[in-house]
Structure 1
Amino acid sequence: MSTFQIKTHQPGRIYHKPHFFILNKGLNSGKPFTAPVRNSFVVSTESVEQKEALFHLSYMLLEAKCYRFYLKGSVIPFIYIADVKNLLIKNSKYFGQKDFETKLKALKKVEELEVVFQNKLKAIQELKSVLLRYCKLEH
């Protein structure tokens, strides 16, 4: 991984380089987002490929619960920007490996399937609601 910058996101700021956001407060600290969210860091990269790779790496770190070790605070847990940056740098060495690329492609396919199933589930719930609405039940 050549270079990337991570900074605290300021609402209203416009970013011109490819970027994504990482939540920094709460039990979901480390969760990556493509849209700006409150209480987040912004990761800016030089290319879209870098952004995609770092985004998915951050997602993998979240799912592997790697961020949990670095959470601070008792009421509202949070993570330091340095901890997130160090985790991304330490794990970015896997980008060139064939195994990482294979897992990244598989993860993208799983995400696409997840969207399809969510849409199907939504349609089934709407159908169920319509069917129940038109049952002739007495009050």
Structure 2
Amino acid sequence: MISFSVKTHKEGTRYKKHHLFALSRGYNTGRPLKEPCPNCFVILMESEDDCQKMYFLLDGLWRRQVFRMQLIGSVIPYIRVHEFTKTIIAFWKQIHENEDRVKRLMDAFNSLERLEKHNAEFMRLLSKYRDMAYVKVFDLDKVNLFGR
């Protein structure tokens, strides 16, 4: 069984244990984060392996919108720490039962994440190339737009 604790993140706090963050408010509640932001929980764990499994679990629960069913509040929906923790524990048992399959999926998703980052960088470079091509074609100094 995993040993972890969930707390509300306080701005400026540094954590010595392995940790990750999850949004605690809004319709993206439960979304795992590598860096803290306002309105998030911190999940503290004993090992880096557990931290990676927890990220996988939270990402799956967030994508399946499991936490949305537990949101309370009418203006800014949020989840209580206790409900968040209870949900993680319930689904952690499923991960533990399918550990081999989960490991393969984690490896595949890590590869997909690297590919997404590579593609995002490629798209950024293509956009920059397009902008430079327009600069070469449209010389704004030669066109008198303002009658000066």
Shared fold per TM-score greater than 0.5: yes
Runs of 4+ in 1 over 6 A off after TM superposition: none
Residue 2 in structure 1 maps to residue 2 in structure 2 = yes
Q: CA deviation at 1:115?
A: 0.5
Q: How does 1:52-67 map to 2 (within 5 A)?
A: 52-67=52-67
Q: Distance in 2 between matches of 1:17 and 1:2?
A: 14
For the 8 Å contact 1:53–1:95, the answer to whether it is kept is no
Matched residue, 1:33: 33
Q: Distance in 2 between matches of 1:127 and 1:8?
A: 43
The one-letter code matched in structure 1 to 2:120 is Q
Q: CA deviation at 1:2?
A: 2.5
Instruction: Provide the secondary structure at the position in 1 that maps to 2:137.
Output: coil
- TM-score (norm. length: structure 2): 0.88
List runs of 5+ in structure 2 lacking aligned partners.
none
- Give the % identical residues: 27
1:37-92 C-alpha deviation (Å, 9 max, x unpaired)? 11111100011111111011101111111111111122111111112111111111
- TM-score (norm. length: structure 1): 0.93
Q: How does 1:1-139 map to 2 (within 5 A)?
A: 1-93=1-93, 94-95=95-96, 97=98, 98-136=100-138, 138=143, 139=145
Q: Distance in 2 between matches of 1:96 and 1:128?
A: 50
List runs of 5+ in structure 1 lacking aligned partners.
none
Number of residue pairs matched by the alignment: 139
Bigger Rg, structure 1 or 2: 2
Q: CA deviation at 1:34?
A: 1.2
